[in-house]
Structure 1
Amino acid sequence: MKIFSYAFIALLCLSCSKTTQEKTLTLAHSLPISHPVHKGIVVFQQELKKLSKGKLDVKIYPDGQLGDEREALELLQIGSISMTKVSAATMANFVPEYGAVSIPYIFRDKEHCFKVLEGEIGKTLLQKGDDRWLRGLCFYDAGSRSFYTTSKPIESAEDVKGLKIRVMNDPTAVKMVSALGGSPTPMAYGELYTALQQGVVDGAENNIPSFVTSRHFEVCKYYSYDEHTYIPDVLIMGTKTLNRLTNQEKEWVYSAAKTSAQAQKKFWENSVNEGLKVLKEAGVQIYRPDKTPFRDQTKSIIEEFKNKSFGNLVEAIQNTK
């Protein structure tokens, strides 16, 4: 833990005033307060206070004050904090089923993605972590990840061949770029700007808001909307905290989470639109290639996931109309 000891953090988890019986939930995450997901969390905080008439409050610790995503989940498991927000990709390290929503091209588009996440499949997935003391409350929009490059645009799947593409240190991302004929290059995000500038890599992949805030658009003038993954964020409550709430309090929590998820989608859309304006002014060219060839060349990854223990979940996502 970077700043706080576990003993101190344990005092933060669920405080209760003896006189008023007001309860305060602690929520830690690693994003800055300007991020659209943080804004969604603020809506959760406000809505929960409103529904409970002040009986339930949320104390938010942003910017990784209490650790990174993995550390926050570990703190939830031991009951030292109440809630967190993490990427579904991080959750997959604790609850393997979450890996299904990180598969390249598993979602046809954003509409398909949220039809899955906000339907029965998503509801079931949010409950999958209960035996690991992690209960999902809702999914937040974290956009789609697409390729961006320095010297030439990616207008088709064939254009990825031979390119050195920075990817997260994730086996699935490595397999995706390899399947497209590129050379996947895992490296720390903080090193990427210089690597792009110096030609160590030819490109990378991320969503529009991150492409803008990282200022990678100063080096990469081509952004191709292939939308290979829609990896959502997840609002998580530790079951040790959840089980200490009354049934009425739990209803307030679930209702507030649902309201915040809908508000957060609008915050994300606004962030993307603002980002596109910045990119246009900076002279970045936006491409929207046909995704079918990309999907065809990476279908072996989906087939591989179908052989895992949650293969039926993968098929259910694909069959969602």
Structure 2
Amino acid sequence: MFTRRNFLATSLGALAAPALTACSRSSNAAPAGAQLLTATDVHVADYPTVTAVKWIGQTLEEKTGGRLRLRQYHSGQLGRESEAIDMARFGAIDITRVYSGALNNAFPLTQGLCLPYVFESVAHMRRALDGGVADTVLQGFETRDLVGLAIYDSGARCFYNTKHPIVEPKDLHGLKLRVASSDIFIQLMRLLGANPTPMSLGDTFSGMETHMIDGAENNMRSFHSSRHFEAAHYWSQSDHSYAPDVLLMSRQSFDALSPADRTLVIETARESVQVMREQWDASENTARQAVADFGIKFNEVDMPAFRKAADPLLQRYLQQPELAALTRRIRDFA
């Protein structure tokens, strides 16, 4: 029977085959036994996660004399994040970068990275991830046909909308806000009084332009690269989550590598975290300046009020022993 799974595998095979043929026929032909890895991301070509994975590909190619190569499909060329996760699980693609919120249901430990006001700052998050939290979460992917390669941070998630500044939770009441398909974020928006509307990142701009939604929540870099600032002119610095991104590899693809190559891929992926962070910091500052020059109205929020409003959700999730233990470890790095 021709299923969706078959379709994804067949479609990617059709895309990747010409690339592999082109590599073998180029003047810089790949050596015998060369392997072409495919990677996906919904973000644009100069987004820090995309450039970090590009760095991984370049490093692997240099260290193996061209035997391991990587081809990227950025800007959502191969579909949405939910589709990319399935494609990686079934071996249709090799590597994908996805937002941790999209992984919450299948991989419960990722919920600890997404809960509201668990991290105090980007610096706190990085200390926690580097201090062993990342390793614990990445190990959890082994049960579902995936290999956790690295965790990339993703800045502070804040509210932006087309209507007015958001200073207190009551300012969210009645607003229709785009959220990713994550139970945590859907529940959080409802708790704060907003009307959560699950929607892909690619559909959000048109959703605001056509008044299907009033705004969204995301990080500054995505606010800029998606050009959402052209539709939503109010940015409210709520810092309600620092939910990071996760770099995953197909277990099938990983197991097909030699033991030495598996070690090389993991080591290179972990090294790419610092590459990503440096590019993130620089590009986030550039993005903030760009949207400020456009005329975006920035405001601070009543942080104690937001923390208090979000706390019931946090406490509900912390009833789970594993999440409570992970959160205590995160708090230790504050």
Pairwise same-fold verdict (TM > 0.5): yes
What is the SS of the residue equivalent to 1:128? Answer: helix
Q: Structure 1 stretch 304-313 or stretch 130-139: which is displaced more?
A: 304-313
Match of 1:6 in 2: 9
Deviations 1:30-74 (A, max 9, x none): 332132211111111111222223232112222333332222222
Structure 1 residue corresponding to 2:127, chosen from 112, 115, 119:
115
C-alpha displacement at 1:170, in angstroms?
Answer: 3.4
Match of 2:270 in 1: 258
C-alpha displacement at 1:27, in angstroms?
Answer: 1.7
Match of 2:177 in 1: 166
Q: Give ranges in structure 2 of 5+ residues lacking alignment.
A: 25-29
Q: Structure 1 stretch 187-196 or stretch 137-146: which is displaced more?
A: 187-196
For residues 28 and 165 of structure 1, the distance between their equivalents in structure 2, rounded to whole angstroms, comes to: 30
1:320 and 2:333 matched: yes
Indicate the RMSD between aligned Cα atoms, in angstroms.
Answer: 3.0
Amino acid at match of 1:22: A
TM-score (norm 2): 0.83
Change (3 A) 1:151 1:243: closer
> How do 1:141-290 residues align onto structure 2 when only pairs under 5 Å count?
141-157=153-169, 159-160=171-172, 162-168=173-179, 169-180=181-192, 182-186=193-197, 188=199, 189=201, 192-193=204-205, 196=208, 201-290=213-302
What is the SS of the residue equivalent to 1:152? Answer: coil
For residues 24 and 262 of structure 1, the distance between their equivalents in structure 2, rounded to whole angstroms, comes to: 24
TM-score (norm 1): 0.86
Q: Does the 8 Å contact 2:208/2:214 carry over to 1? A: yes
Structure 1 residue corresponding to 2:73, chosen from 46, 50, 61:
61
For residues 193 and 82 of structure 1, the distance between their equivalents in structure 2, rounded to whole angstroms, comes to: 30
Amino acid at match of 2:292: K
Equivalenced residue count is 318
Change (3 A) 1:158 1:6: closer
For residues 128 and 76 of structure 1, the distance between their equivalents in structure 2, rounded to whole angstroms, comes to: 16
For residues 31 and 194 of structure 1, the distance between their equivalents in structure 2, rounded to whole angstroms, comes to: 17
For residues 5 and 292 of structure 2, the distance between their equivalents in structure 1, rounded to whole angstroms, comes to: 39
C-alpha displacement at 1:299, in angstroms?
Answer: 1.0
Change (3 A) 1:252 1:120: same
C-alpha displacement at 1:237, in angstroms?
Answer: 1.1
Q: Which of the two has greater helix per residue?
A: 2
